[in-house]
Structures are given as C-alpha cells and as structure tokens.
C-alpha cells in the first residue's frame, strides 16, 4: 500500500496514477486514513496536472463503489435520468421526469439542493406540503414502480467518498477541475443504478461554466467517461444567458412546472430545452429510434395529460396532496408581499445578468448563504421578461415575491440592475447550442 504523500507526489509531478493508487485514495476518503490536508493536496495536484480518461473512469468507479449501488433491473422498463450543471429558473427536472415516465421509461431522479446562485430541484420539491424528498429505500422503489418516476435527494450511503471529497474541494478552491467534476457527477449517477443518462451542460452568465468552450470540454469529459464506465450518455450544451423559466425561486417554479404540465402556460425556451432533453432520454433508453420520434412521444405525453398524471401520482406516493396538480395554488406557500420591478426606459430587453437574478432570489431567502441555512420556499421572482421583449418605461420587467417591503425593494433594485434595455431589437439566444455524443 502506497503512502498518501507518495500518491500526491506522483500526481503533483504529472504522473498517471494506477487504478490501485486511485482505489487507495478513495478508500482513504471513506475510512479517514487520508487527512483533510492530504485530500486537499491531492485535489490541488489534480486541478493543476489533470487526469486522463482512464484515471477519471477509475476514480468515478471507485467512488461509485464506496457505498450502495442501486439496482433497478426488477423494473419492466429501462431506468434513465438526466443531470443539469445548474442554472436560474431551471425547473426542467420537474417536467422531464414525468414526461419520460409517461413514455415508458423509469426515472429514479436523485437531485441536489441549491448551490451558490443556482436553484436546487430538491428545494423546489420541498415546497410541496407533505412531500418526503428523502424517503427510505422501500418507498423510493415503490414510487418509481407506481408513478414511473421519483424526485428525491441523495442518501448518505450513495457515493459517500464523493461527499467527503467535494466538501474539501469546496473550501480549497479546487471545484473547477474537469476530471473531478466529471467523477463527482457520474459516481452518484452510476450509484443510482442507471442504464442511461442525458446531461444538460449549461453555459453563459448564469452558469458555472460561463465560457462555451469550457462547457463543451466538460460535456465531452462526461460523455467519454460515462462510456468508459459502461453508461450510455449524451450531452446537450444549453444557453444560460437568461433564466430558462419565467419564474425563479422554489414554490414559484413548482407552480410554473404544474402550469407547463397541464398546458396552462409553457415558456418557449423552457419547452424547447425540456422536450429536447426528454427526446434524448428516450433515444438513450432505446424507447425512440431518433430525437424527432422521441419529441413526438413527449408531446403526446403532455397533450394527453399523462405526464401531469404521473407528476401528481409521484407527489401523492411521496406524501404530498393527492389533488396537488389540480390545486397547486392552494397548497404552495405564497409570500405576503408582491411588487413589480418597472423598466426605467423604453426599448428592448437586450441582456440579462442571470447570475444577478439568482443572487437576488438567494438574498430574498430562497437560497442559502451557508449550508445550514433554512430556505424560504415562498419567495422568488415571477413573470421574468426574456431577452428580445419590447418594453415601455414603467412596464414590469419581473415581479418580486418577498417577506417584507424592505426585502422586496432590495431585490427589485437587484433585478432592475440585472436588465439591460437597448434601443434596437437584439439577437435572441438559441437555447440549445450543441450536442455531444460518444
């Protein structure tokens, strides 16, 4: 068995680590044999020197096997999922899981909480009264079988090595390593027992990968390493230079998702990305021969009401109201204060500081400054105007939902500063920028 410092030294010097050395590192994460200082040194060495494909595959598989690996082979259909690198107004998962389930797949979706300026799927689901977002394994399996999908949080026994490794990376400036991001994402998805995976890698001013070339590099790494680990995958590069939905927050995004599923209202960019990802999931799961056929299936699932029914069944199976889809407004928490953010001049919405909008939601209490902070599910932004919209002075750019007048005014100022009004109609961003395949 090699000493931790020798493994660190080899990576520091740019050497390719063996599977045995990587296994020793992961074992040290779980058992505590490696100190936090040694973990941090290994992470920094990897950030600076990188890992090749084989090293990253080995790290992914070792972290997958550090805890429980779920098995969905008892299901009568394929188990599939998607992962998003995070954005603002990105409630795609809430529609995507039931849409794909209505098309014959099973979606055991293990999601995370908000990170930085981005929203978390789990925080959104926690807006629903009674909904148990971290159920025991038996209830998770029962829900997936009954509804075809279940959106829950990661349990402590799934990829525990990644949990400790990420906690150290988060406080040592080593999060941005593409191999480590890749292994972190895929180890959890592989531990979830999936047979296929579609990745939504976002780029733009509201994404963690702001530059497109960085997003493409991450997407290629994810697809290649997933393939090396035996997991079929595809990645879409999507635009996050403006919010995806016209709502940003928790309960407000759940309401937006219910409106989407029932056909009451569907934001155009949100619909394009959601249906594209759903189609790719059906292709990856061998339920559609190509993306065009997959899209036709997803539209039928929506228009027939089957997707909304699956969502409602999932909510009820996990402890939420049986009539949630029909009466979402009645059940979801609502902030006591709502104010319009008015445009200061006439023109067109030319640009949006998407990260700024996300941070405004965090400041309202809709996100966390520290991991232990509670989230206010009621606050957020709604009716967010997209890029290209013509406005007159005094028109509402968005509406702020807050606990107090002071909070509302502070958020309104942030929203106003996030909007750039121009004289001529701008080019409208295409939401789907690229597709990365194995």
Catalytic status, residue 84 = yes
Q: Of 11, 64, 82, 113, which is the active-site residue? A: 82
Contact indicator for 261, 98 with CB cutoff of 8 Å: yes
Q: Of 11, 117, 188, 355, which is the active-site residue? A: 188
Q: Of 11, 64, 83, 266, which is the active-site residue? A: 83
Contact indicator for 347, 421 with CB cutoff of 8 Å: yes
Tokens 């107090």: give the residue: 404
Q: Of 46, 64, 81, 407, which is the active-site residue? A: 81
Q: Which of 246, 221, 244 is nearest to 233 (CA)?
A: 221
Q: Which of 224, 202, 187, 200 is nearest to 281 (CA)?
A: 200
Catalytic status, residue 83 = yes
Catalytic status, residue 401 = no
> Count of CB atoms within 10 A of residue 106's CB?
24
Catalytic status, residue 12 = no
Catalytic status, residue 184 = yes
Q: Of 46, 111, 118, 121, which is the active-site residue? A: 121
User: Using CA atoms, how far apart are residues 241 and 207, in angstroms rounded to an integer?
Assistant: 8
3-state secondary structure the chain: CCCHHHHHHHHHCCCCCCHHHHHHHHHHHHHCCCCHHHHHHHHHHHHHHCCCHHHHHHHHHHHHCCCCCCCCCCCCCCEEEEEECCCCCCCHHHHHHHHHHHCCCEEEEEECCCECCECCHHHHHCCCCCCCCCCCHHHHHHHHHHHCEEEEECCCCCCHHHHHHHHHHHCCCCCCCHHHHHHHHHHHHHHCCCCEEEEEEEECCCCCECCHHHHHHHHHHHHHHHHHCCCEEEEEEEECCCCCCCCEECHHHHHHHHHHHHCCCCCHHHHHHHHHHHHHHHHHCCCCCCHHHHHHHHHHHHHCCHHHHHHHHHHHHCCCCCCCCCCHHHHCCCCCEEEEEECCCCEEEEEECHHHHHHHHHHHHHCCCCCCCCCCCCCEEECCCCCCCEECCCCEEEEEEECCHHHHHHHHHHHHHHEEEECCCCCCCCCEEEEECC
Q: Which of 268, 275, 255, 266 is nearest to 389 (CA)?
A: 268
Q: Of 189, 310, 355, 401, which is the active-site residue? A: 189
Catalytic status, residue 127 = no
Catalytic status, residue 342 = no
Q: Of 184, 203, 221, 238, which is the active-site residue? A: 184
Q: Of 56, 60, 80, 84, which is the active-site residue? A: 84
Q: Of 169, 202, 266, 401, which is the active-site residue? A: 169
Catalytic residues: 81-84, 121, 169, 184, 188-189
């Amino acid at each position: 068995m090699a000493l931790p410092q020798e493994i660190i030294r080899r990576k520091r010097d740019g050497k390719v680590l063996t599977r045995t050395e990587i296994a020793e590192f992961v074992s040290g994460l779980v058992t505590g044999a490696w100190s936090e200082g040694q973990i941090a040194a290994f992470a920094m060495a990897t950030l600076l020197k990188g890992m090749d494909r084989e090293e990253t595959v080995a790290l992914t598989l070792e972290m997958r096997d550090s805890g429980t690996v779920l098995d969905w082979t008892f299901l009568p259909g394929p188990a599939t999922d998607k992962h998003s690198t995070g954005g603002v107004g990105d409630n795609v998962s809430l529609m995507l899981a039931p849409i794909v389930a209505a098309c014959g797949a099973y979606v055991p979706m293990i999601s995370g909480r908000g990170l930085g300026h981005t929203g978390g799927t789990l925080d959104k689901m926690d807006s629903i009264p009674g909904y148990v977002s971290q159920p025991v394994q038996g209830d998770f399996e029962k829900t997936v079988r009954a509804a075809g999908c279940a959106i829950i949080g990661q349990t402590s026994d799934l990829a525990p090595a990644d949990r400790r490794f990420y906690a150290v990376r988060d406080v040592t400036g080593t999060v941005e390593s593409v191999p480590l991001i890749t292994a972190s994402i895929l180890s959890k998805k592989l531990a979830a027992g999936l047979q296929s995976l579609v990745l939504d890698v976002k780029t733009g001013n509201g994404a963690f990968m702001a530059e497109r070339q960085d997003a493409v590099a991450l997407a290629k790494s994810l697809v290649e390493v997933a393939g090396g680990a035996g997991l079929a995958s595809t990645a879409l590069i999507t635009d996050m230079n403006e919010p995806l939905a016209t709502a940003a927050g928790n309960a407000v995004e759940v309401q937006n998702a219910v409106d989407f599923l029932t056909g009451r209202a569907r934001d155009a960019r949100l619909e394009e990305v959601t249906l594209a990802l759903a189609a790719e999931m059906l292709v990856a799961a061998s339920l559609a021969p190509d993306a065009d056929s997959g899209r036709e299936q997803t539209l039928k699932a929506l228009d027939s009401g089957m997707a909304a029914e699956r969502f409602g069944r999932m909510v009820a199976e996990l402890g939420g109201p049986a009539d949630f889809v029909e009466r979402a407004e009645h059940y979801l928490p609502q902030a006591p204060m709502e104010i319009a953010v008015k445009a200061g001049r006439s023109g067109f919405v030319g640009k949006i500081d998407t990260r700024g909008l996300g941070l405004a939601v965090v400041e309202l209490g809709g996100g966390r400054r520290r991991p232990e902070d509670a989230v206010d599910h009621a606050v957020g932004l709604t009716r967010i105007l997209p890029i290209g919209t013509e406005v007159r002075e005094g028109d509402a750019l968005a509406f702020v939902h807050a606990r107090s007048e002071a909070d509302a005014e502070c958020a309104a100022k942030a929203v106003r500063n996030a909007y750039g009004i121009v004289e001529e109609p701008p080019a409208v961003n295409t939401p789907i920028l690229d597709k990365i395949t194995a």
